[in-house]
Amino acid sequence: IRRFGKFTAPDFVGERYGSSLARLMAAVISIAISVIYCAAQFRGLA
């Protein structure tokens, strides 16, 4: 990622594949994974 000069995974994917759609998909997948992870953590607290 550093070699491409990008700081986020979606930016890297968009640059690597030259597609805004790929960037959007990477962002949506990242958000979904984060939400699932947080839900599991909150479930563990209860």
Within a domain: 4: no
Q: Which amino acid is at 21?
A: L
Residue with the bigger pLDDT between 15 and 32: it is 32
Domain count, the chain: 1
Residue with the bigger pLDDT between 32 and 44: it is 32
Within a domain: 1: no
Give the domain extent around 30.
Answer: 9-45
Rounded to an integer, what distance in angstroms lies between the CA atom of residue 12 and that of residue 33? 18
CB-CB contact of 29 with 21 (8 Å): no
Within a domain: 3: no
Residue with the bigger pLDDT between 44 and 1: it is 44
Within a domain: 28: yes
Within a domain: 34: yes
pLDDT at 45: 85
Express each pLDDT in 17-26 by its tens digit: 999 999 999 9
Positive or negative: CA dihedral 35, 39, 40, 44: positive
Q: At what angle do helices 9-17 and 20-45 cross, to 10 degrees?
A: 150
Residue 11 above 80 pLDDT? yes
pLDDT at 42: 92
